[in-house]
Amino acid sequence: MNKATRKKIAGLLVITALTTALSGCNGAGDKTGEENSSQITVGIAQDLEDSLDPHKAEAAATREVLFNVFEGLYKPDCDGELIPAVAEDYSCSEDGLTYTFTLREDVKFHNGNTVTAEDVISSIEACADTSGGTPLIPAFSNITGILKQDDRTVVITLAERDADFLSYIASVKAAIMPAGQTDADTNPIGTGPYRYVSRSVQENIVMEKFDEYWGEAAYIENVTFKVCADPDSLVMNLNGGAVDMMAHLPVSQAQQLSTDFAVLEGTMNLVQGMYLNHDFEPFADERVRQALCYAVNKDEILDIVSDGKGEQLGSSMFPNFRKYYLPELNETYSYDPEKAKELLADAGYADGLSFTITVPSNYPQHVDTAQVVAEQLKAVGVTAEIEQVEWNTWLSSVYSERQYEATVVGVDASNLTATAMLSRFCSDADNNFINYKNAEYDAAYEAAQLEIDDDAQTLLYQECEIILAEDAANVYIQDLAEMVALSNEFTGYEFYPLYVQDISKIRPAEQQ
Amino acid sequence: MKRQSTTFWIGAVLAGMVLLFLLVGCFWTPYDPEAMNASMKLAGVSSAHPMGCDAFGRDVLSRVMDGGRSTLLVAGGTVLLGAGLGIVIGAITGYFGGLADTILMRIVDALLAFPSVLLALVVVALLGTGEMNVILSLGIAFAPSFARVVRGEFLRSRYLGYVQAARLAGASHFRILFVHILPNIRSVLISALLIGFNNAVLSEAALSYLGIGVQPPQASLGSMLADAQTYLFTEPLLCIFPGAVLILLVLGFGLMGDGLRTGRK
Amino acid sequence: MKYAGKKLLSMLATLLGVSFLVFFAFDVIPGDPALAQLGTNATPERLEALREEMGLNAPFFQRYFQWIAAFFTGDFGTSYSYHIPVGDMILEKLPISVFMTLMAFVMVLVISIPLGILSAKHEGGKLDTVICTVNQVLMSVPPFFSGMLITLLFGIVLRWFTPGGFVSLEQDAGAFFGYLFFPALAIALPKAAMAVKMLRSSLVTELGKDYPRTAYSRGNTKNQVLRNHVLKNALIPVLTFFGMALTDILTGSIIVEQVFGIPGLGRILLTSIMNRDYPVVEAIIMFMAIIVIVVNFLVDLLYRRLDPQINME
């Protein structure tokens, strides 16, 4: 080898070695930086590909994060109770049509301004604005007037009584924002325990503790929501120390975490099922739907998909909605393949039935469940083909245009009302993507809506659930198990009955 | 001379073994590759299940045998289509140059920048799903890189002695392109084909998420690899078996290609 | 001058072609940006109002021409999903993709050229056999598999880097480059293996020709022959591959970006396609198309430079 070549090669080797050494140092440096417990990195499975304006944000994943930044007049706590937030109290008139909210004194926005009655009015008005066809919060079309009684009192009048009104007021969507803010899409200013600092597309969202928060202050100073888009490298990110906390972990991944993590178990608060398009001819027949329900073995699905974790369901309501949930509905159709075959034969499908299950591919739990369901259906002579589609194709072909036969998805609630789960099954509902038409159901739902007495109303909503279960409206499967991994350096995680990650309750472990 | 043909034979034995294994899979597998068994979930290697069971309690050996076949079909088809298109475009542009070169290469540039995911979505929207459509969309996506490599080789070859000689001897352009030049650039082509094959296997798995490609529960090596990734820490064997079959197959073909080239020199 | 003008014109035509195809693709595939925004909360009225607001109800060609006119005046539009200017968004992510591409590309060169020469020099020898075998294996390993293995080895076992611990350039330049080293390696390995193979075979072919023999007869050593006579000629066919590798790494490292959790252009492109956020998709594709065209143009130029025969035309 001549001199010049040797020199060149040596030079290249030095460069490579340098880069390696450099990266070696950094690896170590990162680690010490993360030892600081007043900083937490929370993994999120997808970026907030959305407006950061809570009124406009539609994705559950966005609301889950914005919960830390924004508050409504009221807000939910971890038991699903509504607690005062920007308002300190409210009163409702006898007829249920006038709500008077008393604002808490000296609630500060993250920009330092004090929340005024004007801010509250403009925020509620924005959510009730009908210029976009339907208001941002559809139930707010019921509002007939928002008045400032004095600097600390806002009166909202309704056209009709609505027992759920406070639940809507307490959703992140009805957050109080500064009046007249024009850049809310990219610069969220709320009143919550954390203040928005910055975002980087597909990388992270950074927040810091808001020192002038009116309520119980958060424990941790800096929070980074880090986008971990690849589910397969998640375990490595956690075990490697880049992420301290991650919610919505599938059981399979949670099991692979090192002992540096505590794995907390909850449920996802959704109704996973094989939803059937009732306009697809075979599914118009009740017997066929019932046969499918009998043919599906929920025990086996839970065993395979999530090691037996999760809650089996029999209707469109999940267990954490304690008020409305009826556990006995799970037993409506217990696994009985023989009965399934009989029913299919009765319905004229003795020679078999085939259909396609469309599944959104970004939800591995639904794809897995669909696989098990398809396999179980084989035993009763039903051939179910699986077709994976990406989320937006699902949204437009299945949800919006209703061009599908069956689909496995989870339906969740955007606020703490029975309406959120049940309204979609009314014959003329916009979001009745299964084309469900049942006069009995419509009547029961209508009656529940009009009922004034709370207990009687609950019974009527439960009646709706019973109808859905007995009519085998869909093949109800489960409320999926949800695993949260939290580094041992932290403690204090709380599950909510809604899609929420409340970081303000999390504290460094030694402060217990 | 002897050593080089050894390379060829090692490759041939490897590839042959894998192919035989997959061929058997077309007619017979130890278990139904789609049959689930909750009690065998993630079961380890045993005499009943020589490769263990996956997260659904399905026999991995049966799935590898069955999945290898569909992988071979889709990835093989993709590479053939991609290379076929690429060779034709590359040969014409590289050999003739001029206007054809300018126009075709701009199309190739456009395709190179066009994301294959979007292309696949368009194919699904226009033609529906299915294995043939995977081959079509991946084949089109793969063609530009083949075209570029082939064009480079033809560009260089057209002034070489043997080409000039063939031209003087009155050979037709077609003959020169495909009978004289093509065999002489096969070593580069084989490398490109092998890498293309590997990429196609993985792309197929990625595309099945878009609703095209092999749909579960049907197995393919790519989707088995992707699924097994979740269990990399606790069940590394799940990853290793389909991975090994894939690597052995590509390695086998690669060694054959190597041996063939050096052996004939 | 005329040549440059012609080139520029054909480049412009390519860009127009690509942008039209992308626009057309979004028209064909299911799902629309307004629905993507509203998700499961969409009602027909809100959907219609938002479509009107986003200008999606205008005829196809009108929308296309409006977009293209804005694009060429430097207005790349606003992201549908993020509500931030597309230009800012891309500019922020550009360093990630550019530096990762360059690092990977330099690695391809650094690994492949010396190894290719070494292998060709010892053709048939032990060293050659070892290099060829390792090469063959590297080519057989799927890229995301090698990505996982690298993460496992360097990230979990050796702890040289924190998997998923990506740091942006502004935050800490050292850590940024340090983190990109391993994904770049995962991208570079299979490409380098192929480059070694091509370079080796090209060198062997050239060495078998007449002119090296003449050089030997003049008393040159094998090294001198290789370096002064053969290497330049042998590099020509490999050049195409290098050019292609460069554009390939830039446009196609999405898998590695996923495995290593790097928020590069590839990932933004993918999520934007999924979200039907076509101002972002269009802008990224236009940018990539420009790079592809420029690189390929430079390769062609170099070709003409290095190979006098091509110039004879």
Owner of token pair 């039903």:
A382
* Among candidate residues B195, A58, A267, A472, the one with its CA nearest the CA of residue C47: A58
Q: Are C118 and C262 in contact (CB under 8 A)?
A: no
- Cross-chain CB nearest to B210 (options A239, A371, A390): A390
Q: State the burial class of residue C3 (Cβ atoms within 10 Å of its Cβ: 0-12, 13-18, 19+).
A: exposed
The structural domains of chain C, ordered by start, are: 2-71 (no CATH), 87-306 (1.10.3720.10)
Partners of A232 on chain C (C-beta within 8 Å) are 148, 259
How are beta strands A98-103 and A87-92 bridged, if at all? antiparallel
CA distances from C94 to B142, C87, C89, C217, C292 (A): 25, 10, 9, 52, 15
Instruction: Flag if B122 and C273 touch (Cβ within 8 Å).
Output: no
What mean pLDDT is predicted for residues B40-67? 91
* Distance from chain centroid for Cα A374: 26
What distance separates the 2 farthest-apart alpha carbons in chain A? 99
The H-assigned helical ranges of C1-151 are 2-28, 33-38, 44-54, 60-72, 86-121, 126-140, 143-150
- Cross-chain CB nearest to C164 (options A9, A51, A240): A240
Owner of token pair 């008139």:
A93
Q: Alpha-carbon Rg of chain A, whole angstroms? A: 26
* Among candidate residues A77, A497, A130, A478, the one with its CA nearest the CA of residue A307: A478
d(CA B59, CA A509): 44
Q: What is the pLDDT of residues A183-228, one digit of tens each?
A: 999 999 999 999 999 999 989 999 999 999 999 999 999 999 999 8
HSE-CB at C168 with a 13 A cutoff on CA atoms is 17
Q: State the burial class of residue B46 (Cβ atoms within 10 Å of its Cβ: 0-12, 13-18, 19+).
A: exposed
Residue A307 is encoded by which pair of tokens?
């090691």
* Among candidate residues C91, C271, C264, the one with its CA nearest the CA of residue C166: C264
Any chains having at least 3 CB pairs less than 8 A from chain C are: A, B
Instruction: Assess C128–A contact: CB distance below 8 Å, yes or no.
Output: no
What mean pLDDT is predicted for residues B70-80? 91
Chain B: give the shortest CA distance to residue C107, in Å. Answer: 18
Q: Find, in chain C, the residue whose alpha carbon is nearest to that of B97.
A: C313
Tens place of pLDDT per residue across chain C (313 aa)? 567 788 788 888 888 989 999 999 998 888 888 888 888 888 888 888 888 888 888 899 999 999 999 988 989 999 998 999 999 999 988 889 999 999 999 999 999 999 999 998 888 888 988 888 888 888 888 777 788 788 888 887 888 888 888 888 888 888 899 899 999 998 899 889 889 988 888 888 788 877 888 888 888 888 888 877 788 888 877 887 888 888 888 877 777 888 888 888 888 998 898 889 989 999 999 988 888 888 888 887 887 777 666 544 4
Instruction: Assess C277–A contact: CB distance below 8 Å, yes or no.
Output: yes
Chain C: give the shortest CA distance to residue B247, in Å. Answer: 5
Angle at C103 between CA C98 and CA C105, to 5 degrees: 95
d(CA C181, CA A26): 11
Helices B236-264 and B186-208: crossing angle, nearest 10°?
160
Residue B260 is encoded by which pair of tokens?
């063939």
Question: Which string of DSSP letters, residue by residue, matches chain B?
Answer: -HHHHHHHHHHHHHHHHHHHHHHHHHH--SS-TT---GGGTT----SSSTT-B-TTS-BHHHHHHHHHHHHHHHHHHHHHHHHHHHHHHHHHHHHH-HHHHHHHHHHHHHHHHS-HHHHHHHHHHHH--SHHHHHHHHHHHHHHHHHHHHHHHHHHHTTSHHHHHHHHTT--HHHIIIIIIHHHTHHHHHHHHHHHHHHHHHHHHHHHTTT-SPPTTS--HHHHHHHHHTTTTT-HHHHHHHHHHHHHHHHHHHHHHHHHHHHH-
ipTM of predicted complex? 0.86
CA distances from B38 to A302, A330, A377 (A): 9, 21, 15
Instruction: Flag if B56 and A387 touch (Cβ within 8 Å).
Output: no
Tens place of pLDDT per residue across chain A (512 aa)? 444 444 444 444 444 444 444 443 343 334 334 444 589 999 998 888 888 999 988 888 898 999 999 999 999 998 888 999 999 999 999 998 999 999 999 899 999 999 999 999 999 999 998 777 788 888 898 999 999 999 999 999 999 888 889 999 999 999 999 999 999 999 999 999 999 999 999 899 999 999 999 999 999 999 999 998 877 778 888 888 889 999 988 888 888 888 899 999 999 899 999 999 999 999 999 999 999 999 999 999 999 998 899 999 999 999 988 889 999 999 999 999 999 999 999 999 999 899 999 999 888 889 999 999 999 999 999 999 999 998 889 999 999 999 999 999 999 888 888 988 999 999 999 889 999 999 999 999 999 988 888 899 999 999 999 999 999 999 999 999 989 999 999 999 999 888 889 999 999 987 44
Instruction: Flag if A392 and C175 touch (Cβ within 8 Å).
Output: no
Any chains having at least 3 CB pairs less than 8 A from chain B are: A, C
CB atoms inside a 10 Å sphere around CB C166: 26
- Cross-chain CB nearest to C168 (options A58, A203, A242): A203
CB atoms inside a 10 Å sphere around CB B233: 16
Instruction: Assess C78–A contact: CB distance below 8 Å, yes or no.
Output: no
Residue A271 is encoded by which pair of tokens?
């109704």
Please state the pTM of the whole predicted model: 0.87
CA distances from C232 to B189, C194, C301, C305 (A): 22, 19, 15, 11
Instruction: Assess B156–A contact: CB distance below 8 Å, yes or no.
Output: no
Helix (H), strand (E), coil (C) string for C42-73: CCHHHHHHHHHHHCCCCCHHHHHHHHHHHHHC
What mean pLDDT is predicted for residues B193-205? 81
Best mutation site among C82, C146, C223, C276 for testing chain A: the one with the most A CBs within 10 Å? Answer: C82
Angle at B232 between CA B229 and CA B236, to 5 degrees: 115
Tell me if residue A435 falls in helix, strand or coil.
coil
Q: Are C213 and B214 in contact (CB under 8 A)?
A: no
How are beta strands A245-249 and A39-44 bridged, if at all? parallel
* Among candidate residues A252, A312, A243, the one with its CA nearest the CA of residue A483: A252
Could you tell me which residues are beta bridge partners of residue C2? none
Q: Alpha-carbon Rg of chain B, whole angstroms? A: 21
Chain A: give the shortest CA distance to residue B151, in Å. Answer: 31
Share of chain A above pLDDT 90, in %: 67
Instruction: Flag if C28 and B126 touch (Cβ within 8 Å).
Output: yes
φ, ψ of residue A491 to 5 degrees: the values are: -155, 170
Instruction: Flag if A27 and C261 touch (Cβ within 8 Å).
Output: no
Tell me if residue A270 falls in helix, strand or coil.
strand
φ, ψ of residue A477 to 5 degrees: the values are: -120, -70
CA distances from C261 to A43, A397, B132, C147, C155 (A): 11, 31, 32, 11, 13
Question: Which string of DSSP letters, residue by residue, matches C139-161?
Answer: HHS-HHHHHHHHIIIIIIIS-SS
Q: How much is the mean pLDDT over chain A? A: 88
Q: Are B203 and B120 in contact (CB under 8 A)?
A: no
Partners of B152 on chain C (C-beta within 8 Å) are 236-237, 239-241, 303
φ, ψ of residue C42 to 5 degrees: the values are: -65, 135
How does DSSP classify residue A396? I
Q: State the burial class of residue A452 (Cβ atoms within 10 Å of its Cβ: 0-12, 13-18, 19+).
A: exposed
CA distances from A449 to A92, A437, A446, A459, C71 (A): 18, 18, 5, 12, 51
d(CA C224, CA A105): 86
* Distance from chain centroid for Cα A245: 17
